[in-house]
Structures are given as structure tokens and as C-alpha cells.
Amino acid sequence: MLHTPGAHPVAERSFAHEVGKLRLGEGEEFRGEGILAVTKALLQSGVAYVGGYQGAPISHLMDVLADAQDILKELGVHFEHCASEATAAAMLAASVNYPLRGAVTFKSTAGTNVASDALANLASGGVTGGAMLILGEDYGEGSSIMQERSHAFAMKSQVWLIDPRPNLQSIVQAVEMGFELSEASNTPVMLQLRLRSCHMHGRFPARDNRRPTYTLKDAMETPRRDVSRVVLPPATYVHEQEKIAQRWPAAIKFIREHQLNEFFAEDAADFGIVMQGGLYNAVLRSLQLLGLANAYGDSKLPLYVLNVTYPLIDDEFKRFCAGKRGILLVEEGQPDFIEQNVSSILRKADVVTRVHGKDLLPMAGEYSGAVLLKAVTRFINLYAPDLLHGRELPTEARLALASSTLPPETPQTLAIKAAADEVQPRPPSFCTGCPERPIFTAMKLVERELGPHHVSCDIGCHLFSILPPFNFGATTMGYGLGWASASAFNGSDTSRRSISMMGDGGFWHNGLTSGVGNAVFNQSDNLLLVVDNGYAAATGGQDLPSSRAGNLRFSTGHSIERAVRGVGITWAKTVTNTYSLTQMRDTLRAALTTREHGPKVIVAQSECMLNRQRRLKPQVRQQIAAGQRVVRERFGVDPDTCTGDHSCIRLSGCPSLTIKSNPDPLRRDPVASVIDSCVGCGLCGEAAHAAALCPSFYRAEIINNPTAWDKFKARLRRVIIGWLQDRIEYRLKGIQA
Amino acid sequence: MNDDRVITIAILAMGGEGGGVLADWLVDLAEQNGYIAQTTSMPGVAQRTGATVYYLEMFPESVVPAGRYPVMALGPVPGEVDIVIASELMEAGRALQRGLVTATRTTLITSTHRVYTMTERTAMGDGRVSSEKLLAGGRAAARHFISADFARLAEAANSLIGSSLYGALAASGCLPFSRAQFEAAIERGGTGVQTSLKAFAAGFDAAVLARSPAVAATVPAQPLPAVGTRLQALAQRIRSEFPPGSHATLIAGISRLADYQDVAYAASYLDRLQPLAVNPLVTPVLLDETARHLALWMSYEDTIRVADLKVRRSRFQRVGAEVRLGASQQLDIYEFLHPRLEEIADTLPAALGRWLLVTPWARACVAPLLGKGRIVQTSSLSGFLLLYGIAALRRLRRVSLRFQNEHQRIDTWLAAIQRLASQHPALALEVACMQQLVKGYGDTHARGWHNFQRVMDKLPLLQDRPQGAQQLQALRLAALADDDGKALDGMLASL
């Protein structure tokens, strides 16, 4: 499984070819993805260091940085793959005493939660060099986490929140201005990138990269300290006063002077729309569909775009609302912090403009194109219904104004409804050949013997166990917190143990202390199962301390079993081949039934199949081309012995193990079928054995470039087996036509 | 001010399918040919085989005034999408569900193949949704509807479905680019160019065909399946003694049973159905269903049958085709067998088998051979001879323990059908269908037979109820609802 250092393939997606765009200079046009543009913006801003922790939607930002090592080195930029978001946020401490610009990135709010300790301390003392947190806002459709807002973190720590218009030029500008804002107000800033912006392809005019004027070397060789920046009373009381008396006004001044927020067609009507910058494109599309704006953003309605959503600028609101009957505030997510703030600003200023927002828009959920179009239509209908008359309105706008009567049913609508009714959800699932699947198959088999157990889940691909066909797992409380979230179940009055899950990612993130250390200290008698697939797989296959791949950039190969023994676990077993269902099942059974008291840890170790295939496929192709003997394995099902019960699928759920119409004219139920995407992981055969399922499975071994010995054996077999097969055919002669 | 020049495209796909490559080609195609393009996608775990949407917008550079730049949306607005591409049929249904397909505007290009959902795959019987309904919905919803099995076309070209769908999009004429311009984007992409172009061409042609006015497909009348010379007499008997409605099933039945045992066994199948055929009260459906289930039951899957099917030349050839064995490659086949004591006893002559099951020391003697899974290499001489030897036990099957047991069960079941045929035909039909529960091997078979018995025990109760047939059907479906029999328990308790 080990492979040579240096030949290590980068994460799931390689940006090796695209990082060349980071070298573009003044006068050239950049074309590419959002995350690449952000990286370019960092280089144009003269950062001295960058760090972060992977997680959608900014995983690829980490991958871009990792692939851009050469360019970073040339510019003297230090890049670090941080151990967690807390580590990343703490890294920004380099900007406290030194005029160093630095940026870290992680997903939000999951990562911001983890980072908030460091973030609060950073925000208290304030910064000298520009410090930026790039947040991948994982909210709305496609999100994989709880639905919360980063806005709350900005408010509680008084960190400025930038939410630029979603086009690359605006985003790049926001990064550059963000550093200046941070320095002008001695406050860290957060740049919020929404899900779809990260992977948006677009263009912007590039500028030259800048080397940091002050370097990490300078800082390390001439260290500075200022006790007034350290978070310890009485300095903390001073920090709070500073935030209000100095940093906040400085930020307001900077935002106003540099016009970070934008006004469009300010006086075009006596009502207008205020929006978070990130929602500008969708709002504008709504106006465009209603005939109230053109494709270039020329609007017939006044628009006020908050590219900085925290803090709000009271004077700008007063200015925009002057002479307006009402405004629509487009603020995604809840609580409606901005709306509350705006109401307060206007009330205190005695401005009578009505504030609409969550009355016309839904309180919760993503503001998709359809949602916004409806709300904008209703708003305009309140203030200037004439604008909507005499033109053909788009479908969603008509729906927004229609009375509650349903449109009449036609054969068309009935057919569409019938089709829509057939649609089933298709949640994500374990990939073909995933080494985590057999762990849960083994748990199913053990459950049949020992009965159900409380299963506590964690964050990672293994969380797919909560869905069919496995249906394991009661809670997931956060990354690395799988065992911690079962810590209440630690009594001596039952012999039934709880099972906690954790991935290698969560384990190194904090699970080693929050879960394992805690279980040792509190003398837990329960089981932790660490899924060690060699990568932070769910976030795109990044390396970890326990990765088994050779790696020049990081120190890897640190054993999880040794780590848990190091903090005091005595019952620890490593299963090095999770596909061995019997081994996996027996180890699980032993952990759940052993008389030995104390916390137990099983490390279930097999390489992530997605990454393994990516690593091996090119090698295998080369070997075959070079004439070497290469055996490819895959599984199959004999349709004539399969009876269509699908027990095998209920124990696996592998995408390559599916169903097809029964070729037998007498049978109706579809038969199981293995499709060609099968990678021959072996689970099908193991499950057929361990669960005594069915003899329909076979393993096919396809020998490429057979040797002379292979060929000799084949010839011999052809003769003897062929003769016997002739006899079978003789017996069956005259039955089929 | 309304500006309709933007072209909007939504691609509904599943993670890992290569929808991203398709989006990348489209961006390159647009940018190289005078258009500004923007694409967005959903990163994250949705990429792990889940449903996902890529969204693209294209805007002609020629109309953009100097110093301006169009504002592009990052997600689709229902009713405002020009082109929807679905990489699978249910995903096309999802596009309808989300309102992305409009009759006034949208061209819907979908592959007709199915990638079954977990719910469909894990059903204990047939849980598949209706492809016909999905197709009809697509046809009703779209302005232009282009459908073909683009997955198969791509596979035939050794490429991914994105290529064939890209070809179909080129053929649809929805985008202002020529075929050569489409192909140039693939060439610039640089990976798998030849196979992608081949799949592109196949997709293109299929879409042209799909767009041409539909030729009324004439379904040729299905001729009865022919049988070989040794079954001619039985086929003749079927024609003269049984109503035409059941001929196809009966022909399939005798072929299967002669293959399974011998011609005499096939004849005994017709003998058993004879009383139903002559009973004027028996409906054609009842006869047909009983004939179908009887054929399946009489060809129960024992060790002999499994071995017999595994060693055939046709099977070796089928496996070779399935794994796409190349001319220069060699194939080995390994079976996963799990012989248990019951299977040994079943294969022995009835008295000996029964004795083995109840004699502890005899069981202890065989035990070491059993209990764990064995992998048999059928393509090797030893493995082949082992299975060939087991298949040869076919001659002794009639005296085996399993044969006795199964035929007793069949007799009881058939007797119940015959008894109910006249007085309670609907219930008789449901009894015939009960055979569906008894399938599989080992534990699965034991569970099925157990459920069968539990349900059939209620027959005396059900035959006096007017709703008896419906209730029996409900019990059968409950038995197929889950592995652990919870649904059936509940249903039985509520009777």
C-alpha cells in the first residue's frame, strides 16, 4: 500500500495545471474558478502566510494552495495545512504584533464554531497586519451541515464581515480591500464566500503579485511584544473600549470613504431594495425578468448593496431611505440580524421608511432565484403595481401574485405530476468499493447476534451509515466528537456497550483528546471505532498525520493505534483489511463482549477506494501497456441462480451492485447485477460467505498479458473442461429450439 | 430593458459521473466562440454519488457595450431555463419536480437509462419506479424532448455519459455553435479525446434520430417460443389440452423443467396442471399464474441445480462477455459457496438425509467440511470437476430429501389452489402468488418458507371472508416489506 515519496498524487482534485494562472500579471485577464481567483487575490495583496482547514466549499482553496507551493515559495509566502480550524484561526496571531498580512480559510459555520475561541481572543487584542478569515459559507441547497449564520460570529467578536457581489472581480477586490480595512481598523475581517461562488467560473483583470514587505523572517529575528495586546485583565477591559471607541469608527470611516458598499439608481424611485452583496446577482436577475433592469445591472429601482454586512453604516441607510416609502431588505438566513439592526437605525433617526424583509421573504432557507423573484414581485406590487401591469410576467412572478386557486389540470400537468411523483431522493452514499461499507456490513451481522447498540456518529463519509441500507447511528455532534457524544452512556449497570464512530480526520482534529482522552480519564467501558482510510476523504482526499502515503511536504505515517495507546487505551486492535468481513465481525464481537473493563478502540484500516483508484489506475495502465502480467478482479452475479431477494444489496448498498430486469421469462422480480464499475473490493464475496447468502456471486479474474504458464494451463483446461461441457450440451440437446 | 440574450443551462447529474467535464466543455465552447460563460456547481459530499446540479449561463460578447459586463445568475430560476440536460431518467423527473422544464422554452435532453436508487435496489421484490411515467412527464413538460440511452452509447465508445450528452446538445441546435466548434472543445480538453469524440458522434446521431418525427413503432405479435425436438410432443399436448392464454408460460415451464431434470419431469408438470385446465371455473389468469409459480417451485434451486448452471459453456461465455474479455486476456472464475449441513442432507437420499440431520455423531463427522465459506475456482480442473460431479447427482435427485420435502409442499399448495379455484377464485390466485415468498438460499430461503407457512396458516380464516384475497395479498406484501418480519408480525396480529 505504500508508495514512493514524491510520486504522491495530490488530493482528489489536482489544480497543478491551473495554478499557472496565479502568475498572471497587470494587463492580463484571469479566467477560472472562484477559489483560484481568491488565491490570486491573496498573492496580489502581499500576504506573508496562509493556512486553513479543508471542508466544502473551500476544500479546493486548500488544494489550490497546496498545488501552488512553488509560486508561494517564490513570493516568500508560508502555507500551512492546519490541524483544525482553531489552529488556523490561532495562526492569525502572527498579525497581532507584526505588520504581516495573513489569511486562513475553513468552512463555516462548522469551522467557525471550532475556531471561535481563537477568533474571540484575536478580535479582543486586535491586529497590526491585515488578518483575513475566508469562510466557505455552507448554507442552503447542497450544504452538508446545520443551517446557521457566520453573521453571529462577526457580531459577537466584532469582526467585520464582507459579503461581496458574486462575480470574480468583486470578490478579488473584496480580498484586497479587506486587508486594508483590517489594518485601518486593527480588526480581523471575515470574507464570506457562498457555496456557489467558490466553484463559479468567471474572469477578472489580473494585477501583479506582491511579495510581503515585512516577512516572517523579519518577525522571528526581531521579535516584538506588547502586553496591552495580550488577552488578560486589565487589558481585556481596554480592548472592549477600544472596539467601540476606536476600531469601529475607523472601520465605518474606511468603508464609507472607499465606498465598499454600492448604490445603484439611488433616486430612481421612492422605494428600493437593500441586499447582502452575495445575493446581488439573484436580485438583479429577478428585476431583469420583471423588465426592471437590464443584463448589465442598470436598474429602474434604487439598489443598495451591502458588500460589508457587518458593521452596517447608519449614515448610508439614512441616505438611502431618505424620501423612500419602503425598502425591501434581502437578508438570507436567520435570525434576521440585519433587519433588526436596520429597524433600530431608522427608528432612532426618526426615518419613517417601512422596512420589508422577512414579511415578504421566508424567514428560513436559501434565497434561490425562485424565492427572490416571488418576493421582489410582491414588494413591487405593494409600492408600484403599475410596473407589473401590461407585460408578460415570468412564471414564478405570476405564481406570487396569483390567488390561491390552483391552475386547472390538463393531461400535460397530470403527466408531469405523475412523473414527479416517481422521483425518489438520491442522497450521497458510500462510493463503489468503499472500505467503510464492510465495517457497517459487519456491524449488521454483529447486530443480528448481539442485538442493537446505541451508535454515536461523527462527521465524515462514514456518516452515510445513518441512511439505508445500514441505518446505523443516533446522533452526530460535530467533527471528532463521536465518542464524546456517547460519554453519558457510561454506567456499570448494563453489559450492553455503546459504539462510537470517528474518522481519521475527526480523530486528529480533536477526537484524540475530546473522545479518547476523555474516555480513558472517565473509565468508559465503551467502544470507539476509528475509520482509518488514509485521507481526509470526505473533504477531497487530503493527507493526515496517519496517512500511509509517502509525502515530502508533510510528516505522515503516525499510527492511530499508537496514539490511543499513548493516552492510555489498553484494549486496542487494528484491522488492516476492512474487507475481511469475518475479521471485522469477530473484532467487533470481541470488543462488545470481552470481560475486560475499560475503553476499547478498533482502528479499521483500508485505503479510501476513490483515492486508491486514482493512485493505481494510471500505474495499472502503464503496466499493461508495458506487457506485464496484471490481474483485474471484479464480481458478478449469475442471473439464472439469483432469485431476486436482494439480501446482498441490503448488506452492501454498493453503487456497482444494482438490479436489472430478470432475463428469466417466468420470474418477475429484478435480479441483482454487478456493473462494470466494480473494482473487485471483495465485499460481495465476503458477505455471501459471512451471511451464508447465496451462491450467485462469482469473482472474475481477468488476466492481462498472460504468461506462457497461464497459456499452457488455459489450453489444458480448454481440452478437458471443453469435453465435459460438450457432454452437458449433449444432454440438453433437443430441449431448446 | 428586458434582455433575453442570456442562455441558461442546467445539468442534473449524480456525483462522480463527469457532469463537471461536460460543464467545462461548455464553458470552453462558449468562451472560444465569442461568449461570456459562467458556471457554478455544488461542491461537497453531494458529490459522493448523490444528485447534484450544475448551472451555466452564456452571454454573447458582441452585444456587450464597452466597459460593461453582464450580471449572471448563480442558480436556475424555474421557468427560465433554456436547456436541461439529465444524465439519468429519474434526474429528468427531478428537473420536472423542480419546475426547471417549461413547455414554452425548455429543451430537455435526457438519457433513458436508470441508475436505481437505494430504495429501488433494496426492495425484497420489485421496487422499481415507472420509466414510462418519467418519459411521459418529460415529453409533456418540455418544448423539445430528446431522449436516448446515452449511457449505453457512451459505454460502447468506452467514454463517459457527458460526451454523448454533449453530442446530443450539439445536435439539438439549441446553442449557436457548429458541430466543429463543439468538437474542438473536446480536443482542447486534451484527455480521452478519441473516445470522447466517438461518444459525442453517437450522441449526436441518436439525438438527430430522436428529433425526427416518430415512426409508428409496430410491435410484432410475439410468436410462441419454439422448443427443441425432444419437447415437441409436450408442446403438442399444451396446444391441445390447455387454453391459449397460458401457452407461453407452459412452454417456458416445460423447457425449464426438462433442462432442470428431464423430459419426464416436464411431463409431470403438465400432469399436475391438468385438473386446473379442465376446470371450467378456473380463470385464464389463475391457470397462467399457477403454471408460472409451479414451474419455478418445481425447479427449486438446490445444490445440484446451482452446480449444473455454473459449469455450462454458455455460462463461461456469459461471464466473459460481462467482464468484456479481450482477445488477448484470460479469464478465471471463482465461486463463493457456503455449504451447510442442511444442503448435504438435502442432497442425500431422503432416509439417509433425515438420519444425518438427527444423528449427533454423524453431524460431528461432516461438520469440519462445513460452516465456513469456500471459494471454488470453476475455471480450474479440480474446481470444475467438483461442481461437475455435484451436477451429476441430478440422476439421484428424485430420491433426495429435498425433493421429497419440496414436492410434499407443492402438493399441499396445489391442492389448496384447486380447492379454492371454484368457490373463491380471487383467493386461489393469491395462494398461487404466495410462491413468491419462497426464494433464495440458506437463511433467506428458510425465512421465506417460514413466512409462507405463517401466512398459509391463516387460510382457513381468510377463505370465509369476502376480503380474504385482498388480505392474503396484503400479508404477502408485508412479508416482502422487511427482513426481520416486523411488518408481517403486525399484519398477522391485526387479522
- Contact call for A415 and B313, based on CB within 8 A: no
Q: What fold, for A24-210+224-256?
A: Rossmann fold (3.40.50)
Nearest to B259 among A427, A646, A735 (CB): A735
Give the pLDDT of residue A2: 37
Residue A467 in contact with partner chain B when CB distance is under 8 A:
yes
Give the CATH number, domain containing residue B158: 3.40.920.10
Residue A642 in contact with partner chain B when CB distance is under 8 A:
no
Per the structure block, which three cell numbers stand in for B149?
440511452
Taking CA atoms, what residue in A is nearest to B80? A394
How many CB atoms sit inside 10 A of residue B394's CB? Answer: 18
Residue B15 in contact with partner chain A when CB distance is under 8 A:
yes
- Contact call for B40 and A142, based on CB within 8 A: no
Give the pLDDT of residue A520: 98
Per-residue exposure over B250-265, b if at least 16 CB sit within 10 Å of its own CB, e if not? bbbbbbbbbbbbbbeb
Residue B165 and residue B127 share a domain: yes
Taking CA atoms, what residue in B is nearest to A292? B1
A184 near A332, Cβ under 8 Å?
no
- Contact call for B137 and A419, based on CB within 8 A: yes
User: What is the separation, in whole angstroms, between the first and last Cα of chain A?
Assistant: 53
Pairwise CA distance, residues A536 & A62, whole Å:
12
Residue B271 in contact with partner chain A when CB distance is under 8 A:
no
How many CB atoms sit inside 10 A of residue B328's CB? Answer: 9
Give the pLDDT of residue A144: 87
Residue A682 in contact with partner chain B when CB distance is under 8 A:
no
Place of cell 428424485: B398
Residue B336 lies in a domain: yes
- Contact call for B130 and A422, based on CB within 8 A: yes
Shortest CA gap B113–chain A (Å): 11
Nearest to B44 among A144, A640, A698 (CB): A144
Cβ contacts from A onto B, under 8 A: 412
For chain A, where do the domains classified as CATH 3.30.70 start and end?
629-705
B93 near A420, Cβ under 8 Å?
yes
Residue A659 in contact with partner chain B when CB distance is under 8 A:
yes
- Contact call for A424 and B64, based on CB within 8 A: no
Residue B482 and residue B459 share a domain: yes
Q: Which residues contact A40 (CB under 8 A, 6 or more apart)?
A: A21, A22, A24, A30, A172, A206, A209
- Contact call for A736 and B75, based on CB within 8 A: no
Which residue positions in chain A have pLDDT lower than 50?
1-10
Residue B103 in contact with partner chain A when CB distance is under 8 A:
yes
Nearest-CA neighbor of B308 among B254, A636, B300?
B300
Nearest to B71 among A296, A395, A716 (CB): A296
Q: How far is CA A262 from CA A311, A320, A397, B95, in A?
A: 15, 11, 27, 36
Residues 23-52 of A with CB under 8 A from B: 31
Residue B216 lies in a domain: no
- Contact call for B76 and A369, based on CB within 8 A: yes
Nearest to B306 among A202, A695, A701 (CB): A695
Residue A695 in contact with partner chain B when CB distance is under 8 A:
yes
B66 near B90, Cβ under 8 Å?
no
For B401, the enclosing helix (H) or strand (E) is helix B401-423
Nearest-CA neighbor of B307 among B394, B375, B429, B238?
B394
Residues 66-125 of A with CB under 8 A from B: none
A546 strand-pairing partners = none
Pairwise CA distance, residues B138 & B152, whole Å:
20
- Contact call for B2 and A636, based on CB within 8 A: no
Residue A636 in contact with partner chain B when CB distance is under 8 A:
yes
- Contact call for B49 and A396, based on CB within 8 A: no
Residue B410 lies in a domain: no
Residue B328 lies in a domain: yes
Give the pLDDT of residue A657: 96
Residue B354 and residue B289 share a domain: no
> In the listed set B241, B260, B294, which residue is the last one of a domain according to the structure?
B294
Pairwise CA distance, residues B91 & B17, whole Å:
13
Residue B374 and residue B458 share a domain: no
Give the pLDDT of residue A427: 87
Q: How far is CA B231 from CA B254, B263, B289, in A?
A: 8, 7, 22
Residue A623 in contact with partner chain B when CB distance is under 8 A:
no
Pairwise CA distance, residues A728 & A715, whole Å:
20
Contacts of B119 in chain A (CB under 8 A): 424, 468
CATH of segment(s) A437-611 = 3.40.50.970
Residue B371 in contact with partner chain A when CB distance is under 8 A:
no
Nearest-CA neighbor of A175 among A162, A166, A160, A188?
A162
Per the structure block, which three cell numbers stand in for A342?
436596520
Residue B446 in contact with partner chain A when CB distance is under 8 A:
no
Residue B129 in contact with partner chain A when CB distance is under 8 A:
yes
Nearest-CA neighbor of A275 among A315, A320, A322, A319?
A320
- Contact call for A685 and B315, based on CB within 8 A: no
Taking CA atoms, what residue in B is nearest to A430? B48
Q: Strand B330-337 relative to strand B144-148: parallel, antiparallel, unpaired?
A: unpaired
Contacts of B55 in chain A (CB under 8 A): 196
Pairwise CA distance, residues A222 & A229, whole Å:
18
Give the pLDDT of residue A40: 97
Residue A670 in contact with partner chain B when CB distance is under 8 A:
yes
Nearest-CA neighbor of A326 among A351, A349, A303, A355?
A355
Q: Which residues contact B436 (CB under 8 A, 6 or more apart)?
A: A669, B125, B293, B476, B480
- Give SS3 for A532: strand
How many CB atoms sit inside 10 A of residue A18's CB? Answer: 16
Residue B49 and residue B156 share a domain: yes
Pairwise CA distance, residues B485 & A687, whole Å:
21
Contacts of B68 in chain A (CB under 8 A): 296
Q: Is the peptide bond before A695 cis (omega within 30 degrees of 0)?
A: no
Residue B385 and residue B270 share a domain: no
- Give SS3 for A31: strand
Residue B330 and residue B362 share a domain: yes
B40 strand-pairing partners = B55
Residue B73 in contact with partner chain A when CB distance is under 8 A:
yes
Shortest CA gap B464–chain A (Å): 30
Residue B26 and residue B156 share a domain: yes
Residue B209 in contact with partner chain A when CB distance is under 8 A:
no
Give the pLDDT of residue B49: 66
> In the listed set B211, B240, B255, which residue is the last one of a domain according to the structure?
B211
Dihedral sign, Cα of residue A640, residue A643, residue A648, residue A650: positive
B337 near A695, Cβ under 8 Å?
yes
Taking CA atoms, what residue in A is nearest to B290? A666
Q: How many domains does chain B have?
A: 4
Residue of B45, B195, B315 best to disrupt the A interface, most CBs of A under 10 A: B45
Pairwise CA distance, residues B454 & A628, whole Å:
58
- Contact call for B1 and A167, based on CB within 8 A: no
Exposure on the CB side of residue B237, measured as CA atoms within 13 A: 17
Residue B441 and residue B336 share a domain: no
- Give SS3 for A231: coil
Q: What range defines the domain where residue B454 resides? A: 422-495
Give the pLDDT of residue A17: 82
Give the pLDDT of residue B451: 96
Residue B217 lies in a domain: no
| Domain A629-705 grouped into CATH 3.30.70 | yes
B350 near B397, Cβ under 8 Å?
no
Nearest-CA neighbor of A23 among A207, A215, A212, A213?
A207
Cα A250 to its chain centre, rounded Å, is: 35
Residue B228 lies in a domain: yes
Cα torsion for B275, B281, B287, B290, to the nearest 10°? -80
Residue A598 in contact with partner chain B when CB distance is under 8 A:
no
Residue B375 in contact with partner chain A when CB distance is under 8 A:
yes
Taking CA atoms, what residue in A is nearest to B13? A426
Taking CA atoms, what residue in A is nearest to B137? A416
Shortest CA gap B166–chain A (Å): 19
Which residue positions in chain B have pLDDT lower than 70?
1-4, 43-49, 212-224
Per the structure block, which three cell numbers stand in for B77?
430560476
Residue A427 in contact with partner chain B when CB distance is under 8 A:
yes
Pairwise CA distance, residues A718 & A702, whole Å:
16
What does residue B461 show for φ and ψ, rounded to 5 degrees?
-70, -45
Residue B45 lies in a domain: yes
Beta strands in B41-175 (DSSP E): 51-60, 83-86, 107-111, 144-148
The predicted-structure confidence for A274-306, as pLDDT tens digits, reads as follows: 999 999 999 999 999 999 999 999 999 999 999
Contacts of A645 in chain B (CB under 8 A): 124, 439-440, 444, 448
For A276, the enclosing helix (H) or strand (E) is strand A271-276
For residue A175, the one-letter residue type is: V
Contacts of A462 in chain B (CB under 8 A): none
Residue B479 lies in a domain: yes
Residue B290 and residue B368 share a domain: no
- Contact call for B48 and A688, based on CB within 8 A: no
Residue of B128, B247, B332, B449 best to disrupt the A interface, most CBs of A under 10 A: B332
Residue B427 and residue B279 share a domain: no
Per the structure block, which three cell numbers stand in for B175?
446553442
Q: What fold, for A261-401?
A: Rossmann fold (3.40.50)
B53 near B14, Cβ under 8 Å?
no
Taking CA atoms, what residue in B is nearest to A733? B228
Exposure on the CB side of residue B370, measured as CA atoms within 13 A: 14
**Helix H segments across A472-578?**
504-506, 518-521, 560-566
Residue B150 and residue B14 share a domain: yes
